[in-house]
Structure 1
Amino acid sequence: MGSSVNYDVENGETDKPMLGTTSSESDVLSCVRFRMIRDFVANVRKVIFGTKLLVLFPAIPMAFVAHYYSLDRPWIFGLSLLGLTPLAERLSFLTEQIAHFTGPTVGGLVNATCGNATELIIAMFALHKRKIHVLKYSLLGSIISNLLLVLGSSLLCGGIANLNKQQKFDHKQADANTFLLLLGLLCQIAPLLFNLNTMEYSPKSDGTSILHLSRASSILMLFAYVAYLFFQLKTHTQLFESQEDHEVDDNDIKETASIGSWSAFIWLCLMTLIIAVLSEYVVGTIEDASESWGISVSFISIILLPIVGNAAEHAGSVIFAFKNKLDISLGVALGSASQILMFVVPLCVIVAWIMGINMSLDFGILETGCLAFSIFLTAFTLQDGSSHYLKGVILTLAYVVIGACFFVQHVPFDESNNNNLERVSNAVA
């Protein structure tokens, strides 16, 4: 302690104790202040400057300025979309930091819950603004993007980087996620088929039966996802240990947290708040951007939003595939798709029900068909537990075909008469 006092005196910072305090108390206060500043600077360096997406952070204040001065709404949309990219990556980083201070079960639950927080926040704002089509398209796009683009590019890059050997992965993890995806697909196809049948035999139906079927299916989907989490985190953890072992071997630093628990929690709340603001900007200006750019809302929601919003997660999956660690890549792609389909989508239906908004699981014929094709193609691709670059090529090209479908689709959306289900009487809600 004495050395610190001599250092302060020599540098002219203080040569007398503060009024009403002893010399030792003054030293303690100065050390505490210095430590707080040092910890804050270290946290900023880890959280803000610790990502390669640092160059996109200026888009965040630019989006705020553009909104404050009421600039062109397409500019607000573009800047907000760019700003969400580093925030989504940092949100994943912070949830991992918090998971270090909890047990494996709680940590896994935190990662599973917050893994797609950006998509959930965007969906909630779209629901609040009664933009059901934007909500459905954005969630559908995230699922298809993970199954075809992320997984396809990972298999393609991993196959090219490992041409001399066949890549292997534990298909048991993939099987568990595939079963979950197939159940979710059934829950979405049932309202669609029921709707088509009703339109043929009962054209005057107000759609209440489809609405009830969707809400019941959503409850079952949430129950199935909870059962999956219990299966993954409690009873059959050995099936998922290979992924965790690879992560530890890849970088020993991952065993310890980079920042403190309270710091991570505060940063997580701050990042979530900023994501919420930017998500509101995105949802509120997406139609204006579509009209200004001449691109359909469906293409922006299904293709652009998932690609830009999850760019960091996608890049991480590809990097692990390059290192011949397909188990981690599969965990990223399939885990994210399963979570959105079995947790985020039914949760939105239940929340809409509580808010008095009529939302069904009927996403439309083209949309549900693309989802079904993506799930079946992914299941066939992963059934033998091996991979090569040709599988990646097929998945990636399939994503391009689906993107082309929605690029040429220009459907005028009118929330007042978008769908029969969204026009059910308030008494039914």
Structure 2
Amino acid sequence: MDSGSGELSHMENGDSKALMGKELWNGRTAQNMSTSLLRKKSDPMLVSRVRFQMLRQFLANLQEVILGTKLAVLFPAIPLAIAADFYKFGRPWIFALSLLGLTPLAERVSFLTEQIAYYTGPTVGGLLNATCGNATELIIALFALYQSKIHVLKYSLLGSILSNLLLVLGSSLLCGGLANLKKEQRYDRKQADVNSLLLLLGLLCHMLPLMFRYAAAPGIFVADSTLQLSRASSIVMLVAYVGYIFFQLKTHRQIFESQEEEEDEEKAVIGFWSAFSWLVGMTLIIALLSEYVVGTIEAASESWGISISFISIILIPIVGNAAEHAGAIIFAFKNKLDISLGVAMGSATQISMFAVPLCVVVGWIMGIQMDLDFSLLETGCLALTIIVVAFTLQDGTSHYMKGTVLCLCYTAIAACFFVHKIPAPLDQTNVNLGLKPSSGFSA
């Protein structure tokens, strides 16, 4: 990056705290590298003439954070969404504007966590990136949980997994194969194998409550037992995810590192405390927009004539993670499939093994009966998706036909949920099991 921005970050933090070069590269995740393609280099001359140092530093940070992305054109959607809510505009407009506003915010969160990683080192930085990689989906899910919209929560998390495994991965393999017809595209199977194994473990934990419910004798009330099983399975999933993070950042870090060297030496462009402050502020804005999205999704569904399941499973994941998805496709064009796989498989693993069980545990603490029973249709789609992807990635090579099949699978699932209508009596909290209210940690 430019020297002017580097000087500002050093003035704020001191030269001794900045960690550069290869060590930082090891702390980055595939999600960070994918969104970095949408960033723009800023011109330090625009703020260098400002006399006051604090004002100059603030303007430089503002330039890097707000204008340093090609998605900056979508930032006006944020104040428009707030104004639409304040002046009581149509709720579908609030939903659409909030969803658009989340797109650049998700990319900026990735940028800010990467900036913080320059000062915390590769291990802490990698852990921060792994935790915040799907912050938007997690915040939307937590607001849905808080508002007891369990069906929206389950649909949105399921949609994130499906979009990463089928749409993002499929588009990357398709575009990469077409752009490299005369080259054999290869990738490291080790990373894909680890993620596939974790996804299968998550699938097992999802299927157990469903099978338990169907295996019960007619007339036997199994809601409490199913809820307890879901909570126990969630703890197992979280333990597995912690082990995965340790495996990824410590013992087998080389498996998840990109084999490509950086073309240019990268440096922090804003200081640690500036990045932390911006990260907190943008997280609060994401929380506000997420509340708008969750609160207006039913109105948008009725106004547009589209089912809630389609909006939650298809539209929200596509728009919310557009920056990350676009980056994965661009890397596939450049024949860097390891990064594209890291984006798709890594995000799906994080949602399945961290976000979903975390919502179950948080619901347990709040006295909300969130379980892992995603019903037969949703669980079936998840199971078939994981199996298809595992078969697709088993040989370590890629061509456009594999991507075509994955994209067509996603299209078929999207069509399924487009025509899927939830009956009115079931479109409520705890639709699957008819659970009775609980308090505290007991089922």
Q: How does the TM-score come out when normalised to structure 2?
A: 0.86
Residues 1:208 and 1:379: Cα distance change in structure 2 (over 3 Å): same
| Deviation >6 Å, runs of 4+ | none
Shift of 1:32: 11
* 1:400 maps to which of 383, 405, 411: 411
What is the alpha-carbon distance in structure 1 between the residues aligned to residue 245 and residue 281 of structure 2?
Answer: 27
Q: 2:264 aligns with which of 249, 252, 264?
A: 252
After superposition, where does 1:75-154 map in structure 2 within 5 Å? 75-154=93-172
Name the counterpart of 1:219. Answer: 235
One-letter amino acid matched to 1:168: R
Which residue type is aligned with residue 269 of structure 2?
A: S
Name the aligned partner's letter for residue 341 of structure 1.
S
Q: 5+ unaligned residues in a row in structure 1: which ranges? A: 1-30
Alignment correspondent of 1:286 = 297
Contact in 1 for aligned 2:206/2:373 (Cα 8 Å):
yes
Match of 1:252, SS state, is coil
Encode CA deviations 1:81-132: one digit per residue, 9 max, x unaligned.
1111111111111111111111211111000000001011001100000000
Deviation at 1:252, TM superposition (A): 2.0
- The 3-state SS of whatever aligns with 1:101 is helix
DSSP 3-state at the match of 2:52: helix
Write the letter of the residue equivalent to 1:151.
Answer: L
Larger Rg computed on CA atoms:
1
Counterpart for residue 245 of structure 2? 229
Letter of the aligned partner of 1:113 in structure 2?
Answer: T
Q: Show the counterpart of 1:13.
A: none
Does residue 37 of the first structure (1) align with residue 55 of the second (2)? yes
Tell me the equivalent position of 2:360: 349
The residue type paired with residue 84 of structure 1 is: L
- 2:369/2:430 contact within 8 Å kept: no
How big is the shift at 1:204?
A: 3.5
Root-mean-square deviation (CA, aligned residues, Å) is: 1.5
**1:237: Cα distance to partner?**
1.3
Do the aligned residues in 2 keep the contact of 1:181 with 1:342 (CA within 8 Å)?
Answer: yes
Counterpart in 1 of 2:220?
204
CA–CA separation in structure 2 for the residues paired with 1:210 and 1:195: 7
The amino acid of 2:350's aligned partner reads: Q
Distance 2:361 2:438 in 1: 17
The answer to whether the aligner puts 1:309 opposite 2:325 as a matched pair is: no
Which residue of the partner structure matches residue 415 of structure 1?
A: 428
User: Where does the alignment leave 5 or more consecutive residues of structure 2 unmatched?
Assistant: 1-48
- CA distance in 2 between partners of 1:131 and 1:291 (Å): 16
Shift of 1:426: 4.5
Distance between the aligned counterparts of 1:289 and 1:361, measured in 2? 27
What CA distance in whole angstroms lies between the structure 1 residues aligned with 2:243 and 2:51? Answer: 48
Contact 1:360 1:421 in 2 (8 A): no
Whether 1:262 and 2:273 are equivalent positions in the alignment is: yes
State the alpha-carbon separation in 1 of the partners of residues 333 and 340 from structure 2: 10
1:172 is matched with 190
TM-superposition CA deviations, 1:187-241 (whole Å, max 9, x none): 001111101112xx14230511100100000000000000011111111112223
Q: Deviations over 1:11-49 (max 9, x none)?
A: xxxxxxxxxxxxxxxxxxxx9971211111111111111
Which secondary structure state, in structure 2, belongs to the residue aligned with residue 52 of structure 1? coil
Corresponding residue number in structure 1 for 2:387: 376
* Correspondence list, 1:314-393, <5 A: 314-393=325-404
Letter in 2 for 1:381: T
Give the Cα–Cα distance (whole angstroms) in 1 for the partners of residues 197 and 69 of structure 2: 35
* Partner amino acid, structure 2, of 1:176: V
- What are the superposed Cα offsets for residues 263-299 of structure 1, whole Å, 9 maximum, x if unpaired? 1111101110100000000000000000010000000
Deviations for 1:244-266, whole angstroms, at most 9, x for unmatched residues? x42x42x424x321211111111
Pick closer, same or farther for the CA change 1:62–1:231 going to 2, 3 Å.
same
Distance 1:345 1:366 in 2: 18
Letter in 2 for 1:235: T
Q: Between Structure 1 and Structure 2, how many residues are aligned?
A: 392
